[in-house]
Structure 1
Amino acid sequence: MTEPTHRERNAMMIAKIRETEPQPCTEGRHVLRVLCVPGRRTGTPREVPLAVTQLDGQRYVCSPSRRRDWTANLLAAGACRIEQDPGRTYRAELVETDIGATVLATYLGNVRPGGANMWPFPKDAPASVIREHLTEVAVIRLIPA
């Protein structure tokens, strides 16, 4: 049996998110959501399953690389929708400050073992180490528009 492709894994995760009751956002934790963002070349809506982390009442998404398609699309579009928040649009703001490092440390602290191997630092890295990588990874604040 062959390993599912990245697209197949995303499609399975999107289906799983859609078939379960959305968990409420909780301070210091993340919830799974389907983010909808226009493609940067075509403008065609793209759906991606993501963990949305809440810290200090703000919502964030994190990416281990700004070159990932969803990350580049979100940064180019500057806005997105979250499928589980119908009718609401979010403005996207890149966070490259100590707050971003704290958000990412919080997110990684909640990720299951083995789920954080794509980051350029260990899962248990302190915010001071994460801070050094904020120009290559992405921490994006989602601000209700």
Structure 2
Amino acid sequence: PDPKTPTSESFTAFIVDADSPGITKGRKEINMGQRAANTSGITFEDVVVPKENVLGGEGAGFKIAMGTFDITRPPVGAGAVGICQRALDEATKYSLERKTFGTPIANHQVAIKLLSKNEFIHFHTIFIILPFNRGGQVRVKA
């Protein structure tokens, strides 16, 4: 590519068979979060990419990658909110059962603040995801 081309137009997305000559798969990386994801490096040496395997045209790879993030990020956020909701449910239950100074800890201001902050995160994520569910973009809202 031309060195004067903007970075956002310097990548090309394509599809090739993993068994194509010149493709070497690297070792599986250890992920911090999504351990089920099979993440590894790939080396391409003199791999031939047929013109019909180029996605969106030459230089459209960055745009395609960003579009993929638009699709994959909301479910990740929703999963995190689900985990947070369960933690909130357990914390609420405990805060109603456990007493300090003769009153449930749910009545203490600091506990109320923590519980309400988690509830806010839950609803904020729903607010962000709603346009996505209707076919809109989420990156502006986030």
TM-score by length of 1: 0.22
Structure number with the higher helix fraction is 2
Which structure: larger Rg?
2
TM-score by length of 2: 0.22
